[in-house]
Amino acid sequence: MDNSQRPAPRRPRVAGRHLTDSGQTRAVIPYTRKLTSSRPINRRALTLLGHGGVAPQQRKRSIAPARQAPPATPGLSAEQQRRAAELEQELQLARDLQQGLLLEAAPRLPGWELAAVSLPARDLGGDLYDFLQLDGQTQGIMIGDVSGKGLAAALRMAVARTVFRHEARRGGPPAETLAAVNRGVLSEIPQGMVTMLYARLDTVRGRLQLANAGHTFPLIVNGKVGELELSGLPLGVDADSDYGESFAELGPGDTVVLYSDGVLEAENADGAIFSFERLQALVETHSLLKPRAMVALLLHELRAWSGGTQTDDVTIVVLRRRLSRLSAELQSIAVDVLGGERANPFWAEALALVGAARQEDAGAWIAALPEVLKLAQERYGRGLARELQQQLRIAIEDYRDDRAIATDERDQTMEETTTRR
């Protein structure tokens, strides 16, 4: 994010509806706008790219390759080379610590899928995301972008994250929390501003409550792709800033994509930016992808667009609500991993192993999983079978946990009713 207070681009609003997994239509949110594009995008092989960096002297950073030790510089004394090597090690440690703050924060949410990645343009970055468990069914989700790049931005990022966590743990609504964070940023980061979007997710009802301090608008994917337009001044600009709130009801299969402006502003060799329209078209074409695959696709396309270089920090967070029926969710995983043509015959054989009458029984799927995976390995090889195993197992355990929680709540309700009688 540049230091200039550039307002987010405004486009006309269009309210929308979408299909639920029961086949009915329902309104989503009045702030969501439908965006269309006729540009076809071919599906490519997806691999999640790493967090490797390059030497600090390099202004543009390759997204994919890992860091290598810098070669000795001719003309430097042995002492100067030793000091340069120490600085390189310190930068490596600082970057590892910064990435650890982000990567260790991603939670596992029963009934939901979540993927997040943050790639700094230099050794250290100013983008951030965070997740906080606020109570039994409320999850806090934050994404932000600190002005500047490099070490200064990284230090501001650490302070902004600390202030955010302190205020969010008070349990207030997003608008109130961002107003408090704004005052803290003005106090602790007097020469820098921060964009930040904060959402509280009710994991049981699927209700998302959001406030936005100058960050890029989130994308809601629910059969179409629309933005949830919600504006506000960045943090650190005005101590009296107030923030509005909006709500989104996420049904089974719905996805939310949060991202920093480094995605939109990635440049190709001719200086053209990736742009919102290209991002929207890409997400719309691949709207059924799971979060991990969606993140991998976006990174792949950004790398292809920019020729493997990166001039701004890139952060992406993708959240998806699982389908209500276990069998439908598992079939969607098979399609996501194997592709439609291979998934359909495989799914028919997998159902035969489980038994059609027990296809919604998590216990039956757990018992049949070794045979299902043996079938996948025979048909498609060890690599795809391993990926399929990981995703199927997580989904099955999520549905089993949800069923156990629902049973406990029902039993508790019955006990309370009996006691009152």
**For every residue of 348-410, which 3-state class applies, written as one string?**
HHHHHHHCHHHCCCHHHHHHHHHHHHHHHHHHHCHHHHHHHHHHHHHHHHHHHHHHHHHHHHH
Q: Which residue has the higher pLDDT, 155 or 361?
A: 361
Asked which of 117-131, 154-168, 286-300, 351-365 is least confident by mean pLDDT, the reply is 117-131
Angle between helices 362-380 and 382-420 (to 10 degrees): 170
Q: Which residue has the higher pLDDT, 33 or 214?
A: 214
The domain that holds 177 is classified in CATH as 3.60.40.10
Across the range 131-158, mean pLDDT stands at 85
Last residue of a domain, one of 305, 321, 337: 321
Last residue of a domain, one of 296, 321, 346: 321
Same domain, 25 and 131: yes
In a domain, 68, yes or no: no
In a domain, 2, yes or no: no
In a domain, 39, yes or no: no
Identify which of 197, 204, 203, 201 has the alpha carbon closest to the alpha carbon of residue 181.
197
Beta carbons of 124 and 95 less than 8 angstroms apart:
yes
Same domain, 171 and 314: yes
Cα separation, 111 vs 215, whole angstroms? 27
Asked which of 12-16, 68-72, 217-221, 401-405 is least confident by mean pLDDT, the reply is 12-16
Number of domains in the chain: 2
Q: Which residue has the higher pLDDT, 145 or 44?
A: 145
Does the structure show a pLDDT above 80 at 176? yes
Last residue of a domain, one of 293, 321, 349: 321
Does the structure show a pLDDT above 80 at 391? yes
In a domain, 63, yes or no: no
Across the range 80-108, mean pLDDT stands at 64
Across the range 261-269, mean pLDDT stands at 93
Identify which of 149, 142, 126, 116 has the alpha carbon closest to the alpha carbon of residue 48.
116
Q: Which residue has the higher pLDDT, 407 or 33?
A: 407
Same domain, 270 and 382: no
Q: What's the domain range around 255?
A: 17-34+94-321
Same domain, 341 and 376: yes
Q: What is the DSSP letter of 239?
A: T
For residue 318, list its beta bridge partners: 115, 257
The pTM of this model reads 0.74
pLDDT band at 120 (very low <50, low <70, confident <90, very high): confident
Same domain, 354 and 221: no
Same domain, 185 and 112: yes
Same domain, 140 and 211: yes
pLDDT band at 77 (very low <50, low <70, confident <90, very high): confident
Same domain, 138 and 183: yes
In a domain, 406, yes or no: yes
Q: What is the pLDDT of residue 55?
A: 34
What's the mean pLDDT when you consider all of the chain? 78
In a domain, 192, yes or no: yes
Q: What is the pLDDT of residue 203?
A: 94
Same domain, 147 and 184: yes
Same domain, 166 and 277: yes
Same domain, 408 and 316: no
Does the structure show a pLDDT above 50 at 408? no
Q: What is the pLDDT of residue 409?
A: 44
Same domain, 130 and 230: yes
Does the structure show a pLDDT above 80 at 96? no
